[in-house]
Amino acid sequence: MAPTTQAHEITAASRLENVRYAIRDLACVADEVVKQGHKVLPLNVGDPLNFDFQTPPHIIEAVYKAMRDGKNGYAPSPGIPEALEAIRGEAARKGITTVQDVFVTSGVSETVDLCISALVNPGEDLLTPSPDYPLYSAVLCKLGIGLNAYDLNEEDGWQPELADIERKLTPRTRGIVIINPNNPTGSLCTRQMLEQVAELARRHNLIVFSDEIYDKLILEDTPHLAFAAVAPDVPCITFGGMSKNYLVPGWRIGWGIVSGDAAAVKTYTEGVHRLLRARLCANHPEQYSIKPALEGPQDHLVEVKRKLRSRRDLTQKWCESTPRVSCVAPRGAFYAYPRIEIPESDEIFVNELIRQKHVMVVHGSGFGQKPGTQHFRIVFLPDEQTLTKAYVGIAEFIRERYGK
């Protein structure tokens, strides 16, 4: 019998049409440029290990030892007990007094996926910031949930715009996401803002997802404020992880801390645990790094923050002295989100910048922005020399393409 040939194209589900991840999608343009023999300056991906940052050796030892000790099978679905205990300790240090549950995931990425999937029914919605870290909209699109984004206000240091949140609330809104410190803007929520978001959550029976993955990378003297510490009664999942604070994004370890009124979060937390069981477990040996990371020496953070402050200052100075560019100074994490005044889209700007100057940043439309405004995101992780080279290239590009 003649072999049957596959005649039809296998299409992807249509709900994926709006799934975009601009940060990595740009890689295709960069690949072309590299094939032409150029070196690309990557100011696009927030991976400190691409630059002069090193993982604290004692946590590498802990994982190595776990592997040698045979911790290579499946772990318990919520995470290994010593990690869960260490995360509870960390929650207490963050001032969270109403912890109801903690669980370990494959990066904060999986926490985001599980927490949204366990919450939102078709026809309901979740308030997400605009601009936002694009995974939130990607997960919502994957689930077939319509986006409901609220604005961050550039004129107010990128604080959530309360009036816009009020406008966007619907009877079917189940929760609100805050990212603090923020990616892509580097902003920090003020105490007053957290209190106001808490008040909205109380009034509208919302759960708050507070993404605090950068909470140890604060570039100011003010301490980080955890939402759940400010609003202990409000149902909240605080997202935290190893990727950024402990310089191991490739290990894929994150966690969720459930807090708030015990009765209010009980059923939802059971839902999260169903999903935790269904996906078996997070990476097992890597979980042995959590306790030594959270409870051991934090010396690396001094060096990391020293470098980041210097690179942030250099970035800010460049933004302030470059025509057509302005920027709200970042206060945490390692991102700046400058605004540019140009007569074309920021997506064209970014694509042409890679092609002509071999500098890779990410366009504002990949994160969201108010109509009529254009931005790009800079990752200021590279050393001062590399950043200076990149900024000279961007300034030249702006001058040559748009004039002063």
Ligand X SMILES: Cc1ncc(COP(=O)(O)O)c(C=O)c1O
Binding site for ligand X (CB under 6 A): 46, 107-109, 133, 179, 183, 211, 213, 241, 243, 249, 254
Q: Whats the size of the chain, residue-wise?
A: 404
Contact (CB, 8 A) for 335 and 377: yes
Least CB distance from residue 44 to ligand X, whole Å?
Answer: 11
Q: Which is nearer to ligand X, 183 or 316 (CB)?
A: 183
Least CB distance from residue 67 to ligand X, whole Å?
Answer: 21
192: left (phi over 0), alpha (psi -120 to 50) or beta: alpha
Q: Which is nearer to ligand X, 165 or 247 (CB)?
A: 247
In this structure, which long-range contacts are made by residues 136-143, counting pairs with CB atoms below 8 Å and at least 24 apart in sequence? Answer: 136/112, 136/177, 137/18, 137/20, 137/368, 138/19, 138/20, 138/21, 139/112, 139/113, 140/116, 141/15, 141/16, 141/17, 141/18, 141/19, 142/15, 142/16, 142/19, 143/15, 143/116, 143/117
Number of other residues whose CB lies within 10 A of the CB of residue 373: 13
Least CB distance from residue 183 to ligand X, whole Å?
Answer: 4
Q: Which is nearer to ligand X, 133 or 288 (CB)?
A: 133
Number of other residues whose CB lies within 10 A of the CB of residue 326: 13
Q: Which is nearer to ligand X, 148 or 183 (CB)?
A: 183
Least CB distance from residue 252 to ligand X, whole Å?
Answer: 7
Retrieve residue 158's tokens: 């990128």
Least CB distance from residue 66 to ligand X, whole Å?
Answer: 19
Burial of 384: CB neighbours in 10 Å, binned 0-12, 13-18, 19+: middle
CA distance 36 to 322: 29
Least CB distance from residue 372 to ligand X, whole Å?
Answer: 25
Retrieve residue 381's tokens: 């992780």
Number of other residues whose CB lies within 10 A of the CB of residue 7: 5
Q: Which is nearer to ligand X, 48 or 260 (CB)?
A: 48
Read off φ and ψ for residue 296, nearest 5 degrees.
-90, -165
Dihedral of alpha carbons 31, 32, 37, 40, sign: negative
Closest CA to 115 of 134, 96, 139: 139
The b-or-e profile of 284-318 (16+ CB within 10 A means b, else e) is bbbbbbbbbbbeeeeebbeebbebbeebbebbbeb
Least CB distance from residue 254 to ligand X, whole Å?
Answer: 4
Closest CA to 180 of 208, 215, 155: 215
Q: Which is nearer to ligand X, 213 or 398 (CB)?
A: 213
Dihedral of alpha carbons 123, 126, 131, 133, sign: negative
Least CB distance from residue 268 to ligand X, whole Å?
Answer: 20
Least CB distance from residue 377 to ligand X, whole Å?
Answer: 11
| Beta-bridge mates of residue 208 | 176, 236
| Beta-bridge mates of residue 375 | 339
Least CB distance from residue 210 to ligand X, whole Å?
Answer: 11
Q: Which is nearer to ligand X, 26 or 179 (CB)?
A: 179
Least CB distance from residue 79 to ligand X, whole Å?
Answer: 14
| Beta-bridge mates of residue 371 | none
Q: Which is nearer to ligand X, 179 or 257 (CB)?
A: 179
Q: Which is nearer to ligand X, 76 or 256 (CB)?
A: 256
Q: Which is nearer to ligand X, 151 or 211 (CB)?
A: 211
Q: Which residue is nearest to ligand X (CB)?
A: 107
Q: Which is nearer to ligand X, 360 or 398 (CB)?
A: 360
